[in-house]
Structure 1
Amino acid sequence: MLTAVDHVQLAAPPGSEDRQRRFYTGVLGMTEVPKPPALAARGGCWFRAGPVHLHLGIEPGFRPSDKAHPGLRVTGIEELAARLEAHGTPVTWDTLLPGHRRFYAHDPVGNRLEFLEPDSGV
């Protein structure tokens, strides 16, 4: 029986770890989690914020997906959008999901990210 999502893995091109660290820790405020030594040799980096765990794995020939993305629930969505934009990351607001405010943005290598916050009372 499934009980939870342990983590979401996103792909990244070789050599992009420093850009990813600046974005996921510096902009999104996540904490980098040390990878086990056997996995660290593969490159990439892991991040967490509370129960949210994102793994960035190195993929030779990386090409970001146009559609696939994690949906990240947040609080203070307006402030987060402003923070992303202040750091040079454009956001695209979307009003199609009833009961939620949400926008899309892309990490430094082009991975699509959805950020959403339930409207009051949801």
Structure 2
Amino acid sequence: MRIVAIDHVQLAMPAGEEAAAQAFYEGLLGVPRVPKPPHLERRGGCWFESERGEGAVKIHLGVEDPSYPARKAHPALRVEGLAALVEELRAAGVAIRDDEPLEGYDRVYVDDPFGNRLELLEPHA
């Protein structure tokens, strides 16, 4: 037996903030919102998933009360067109944080609307 992939990442969000999650993850990052299974829908939160490009991206946001964002632990999301995405995020008022260089990549950090840290990185050509 061995682990072969990460199926999804789950992050915390406050109750009732699904519209803010959708505006950020689908509207700005371009990961479509997908329906949750009916038996999980009653818990709140929302799922964002995409199968295009080099692999699947699955980010699930689950309601926690109280909600504590992941400020150090984070998913790293591989991006195509990082510079353009950074400009779109800045124009939308999202703070961009640079960090130490990582060999072979351009990268930045952003927070989602709930304070969860996300790393956005693009391999050098």
TM-score after normalising by structure 1: 0.94
- In the alignment, the residues of structure 2 paired with residue 77 and residue 95 of structure 1 have an alpha-carbon distance, to the nearest angstrom, of 16
Identity of aligned residues (%): 50
1:9 correspondence with 2:14:
no
Matched residue of 1:93: which SS?
coil
Whichever residue aligns with residue 16 of structure 1, its letter is: E
**1:108 is aligned with what amino acid?**
P
Q: Which residue in 2 is equivalent to 1:23? A: 24
In the alignment, the residues of structure 2 paired with residue 74 and residue 29 of structure 1 have an alpha-carbon distance, to the nearest angstrom, of 11
The corresponding residue for 1:119 is 124
Equivalent residues, number: 120
1:100 corresponds to 2:101: no
**Matched residues in 2 for 1:91 and 1:100: separation?**
16
User: Which residue is 2:79 aligned to?
Assistant: 74
* Residue segments in structure 2 that go unaligned for 5+ positions in a row: none
Aligned-partner residue type, residue 35 of structure 1: K
The runs of 5 or more residues in structure 1 that have no matched partner are: none
Give the counterpart of 2:65 among 43, 60, 65. Answer: 60
Post-superposition offset of 1:74 = 0.7
Superposition TM-score, scaled by structure 2 size: 0.92
**Can you list the C-alpha shifts for 1:95-119, whole angstroms capped at 9, x where unaligned?**
4211110000011111100000111
Runs of 4+, deviation exceeding 4 Å: none
Question: Is the Cα contact below 8 Å between 1:104 and 1:113 reproduced in 2?
Answer: yes
